[in-house]
Amino acid sequence: MNTQDAKRVLETALICAQAPLSLREMRVLFDDQVGPDTVRSLLDELSRDWEGRGVELVALATGWRFQSRPEMREYLDRLNPEKPPRYSRAVMETLAIVAYRQPVTRGDIEDIRGVTVSSQIIKQLEDRGWIEAIGYREAPGRPALYATTRQFLDDLGLHSLDQLPPLDGAPPHAADLLHGAQPDQPPLIAPEDDQGSLPLEASDQPEQPAQPEPAPPPNAEPTDVAPVPAAEASPDVPADDAEPVEPQT
């Protein structure tokens, strides 16, 4: 098989694939008779062949795929005018902390945000395929350690975490994590301003920092009864979801 025929096979497989193809999968196309360096060379040639067209070949965390260029989004949206899913600020802040500080425990996230992180937030990010538990910290209770997934990088159009925007000394706005990773990529979430229009449910409460226990009056007599500690917020109560999350589509 000559180079031109090999490129046609590779091009066809990539266009028809439902997910990014890894080098190992692409070598299977040639019955493992083509080495990884040769496959990479063919991919480079394909990438150059598609320059200046509406579709480009990109390398992601899990492999290679063809995708439309960002400037084509305006026209493609006319065929499928779908709005991106909306996430609350609490969800986006949690995702940003995991992305930049991983691996982190739920307690680490609570220490950074200053409020309780509900189980619903963690589950939502896990269900979306953006974070996963990769182990357990050797500490009392052995809390789970969370990190981002390859699906997270694929959805942002990134090859590795090194391509995340730098912090520059200050944490980025939570929504900027997904908007800023690839400035020319279409957004994966609705802008933060859009979330202000969502109705608040009666059960939703704004985030409140923990209040210190009031000191006893100066003239209070000592007592043998031990003081009752301030109630701790239950980790399962979604206290920091100030806004509802729309169902995933």
- List pLDDT tens digits, range 202-216: 334 444 444 444 454
Question: 188 lies in a domain?
Answer: yes
Considering the domain architecture, whether residues 173 and 104 belong to the same structural domain is answered as yes
What is the share, in percent, of the chain residues with pLDDT greater than 90?
A: 35
Question: 219 lies in a domain?
Answer: no
Rounded CA-CA distance 32/29 in Å is 7
State the pLDDT confidence band at 9, using cuts at 50, 70 and 90: very high
Question: 71 lies in a domain?
Answer: yes
Strand partners, 55: 68
Considering the domain architecture, whether residues 164 and 130 belong to the same structural domain is answered as yes
pTM, two decimals, is 0.54
Considering the domain architecture, whether residues 70 and 94 belong to the same structural domain is answered as no
**What contacts 24+ positions apart, CB below 8 Å, involve 37-43?**
39/10, 42/3, 42/6, 42/7, 42/10, 43/10
Assess whether pLDDT exceeds 60 at residue 82.
Answer: yes
How many helices and strands (H and E) does the chain possess? 10, 4
Rounded CA-CA distance 237/23 in Å is 44
Question: 145 lies in a domain?
Answer: yes
Rounded CA-CA distance 19/50 in Å is 19
Question: 128 lies in a domain?
Answer: yes
Name the domain boundary from 195, 218, 233. Answer: 195
Question: 21 lies in a domain?
Answer: yes
Considering the domain architecture, whether residues 96 and 167 belong to the same structural domain is answered as yes
Considering the domain architecture, whether residues 98 and 171 belong to the same structural domain is answered as yes
Q: What is the rounded average pLDDT for all residues in the chain?
A: 74
Question: 229 lies in a domain?
Answer: no
Are 189 and 82 contacting, i.e. CB atoms less than 8 angstroms apart? no
Total number of domains constituting the chain: 2
Are 172 and 180 contacting, i.e. CB atoms less than 8 angstroms apart? yes
Question: 208 lies in a domain?
Answer: no
Are 100 and 178 contacting, i.e. CB atoms less than 8 angstroms apart? no
Mean pLDDT score, 84-90: 82
Assess whether pLDDT exceeds 80 at residue 201.
Answer: no
Rounded CA-CA distance 240/139 in Å is 25
Assess whether pLDDT exceeds 50 at residue 96.
Answer: yes
The boundaries of the domain holding residue 69 are 3-76
* Residue 137: CATH number of its domain: 1.10.10.10
Considering the domain architecture, whether residues 93 and 72 belong to the same structural domain is answered as no
Are 36 and 42 contacting, i.e. CB atoms less than 8 angstroms apart? no
Convert the pLDDT of each residue in 171-192 to its tens digit.
444 445 554 444 344 444 444 4
Considering the domain architecture, whether residues 51 and 148 belong to the same structural domain is answered as no
Assess whether pLDDT exceeds 80 at residue 196.
Answer: no
- What integer pLDDT is reported at residue 1 of this predicted model? 77
